């Protein structure tokens, strides 16, 4: 919130502090992407039933770049993270919101 007071742009999903900020500054003054809160529980319920989030070609390319160690760091840890996201462990709906993020 301190960044906003200094004129920064907000790009994010409508959760946490972003909900409070939207009440004060207006949602139209933010770059909001992703699912609305009422749809999140429905999507998470589908995932518990074995549903796996959508990973299109652009996101698959990002994941492959991460898994091959292009960015360095602890590559095995990032490989595990990507594997979890692709195999039902996307609890924060990262895959689902990726394309909406790009559009925002």
- The pLDDT tens digits of the residues spanning 23-53 come to 988 889 899 998 877 787 777 777 666 556 6
Reported pTM:
0.71
Q: Select, from the ranges 2-6, 64-68, 70-74, 91-95, the one with the highest average predicted confidence (pLDDT).
A: 64-68
Q: What was the pLDDT predicted at 91? A: 79
Closest CA to 52 of 15, 91, 99, 18: 91
Other Cβ atoms within 10 Å of 53 Cβ, number: 20
Between CA 26 and CA 98 the distance in angstroms is: 23
Between CA 18 and CA 1 the distance in angstroms is: 9
Q: What's the mean per-residue pLDDT of the chain?
A: 84
Average confidence (pLDDT) over 1-30: 83
């Amino acid at each position: 919130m301190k960044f906003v007071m200094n004129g920064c742009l907000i790009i994010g999903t409508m959760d946490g502090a972003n909900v409070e900020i939207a009440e004060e500054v207006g949602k139209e003054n933010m770059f909001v992407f992703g699912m609305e809160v009422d749809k999140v529980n429905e999507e998470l319920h589908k995932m518990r039933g074995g549903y796996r989030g959508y990973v299109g070609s652009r996101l698959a390319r990002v994941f492959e770049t991460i898994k091959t160690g292009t960015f360095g760091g602890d590559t095995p840890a990032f490989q595990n993270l990507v594997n979890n996201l692709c195999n039902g462990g996307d609890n924060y709906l990262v895959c689902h919101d990726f394309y909406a993020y790009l559009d925002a």
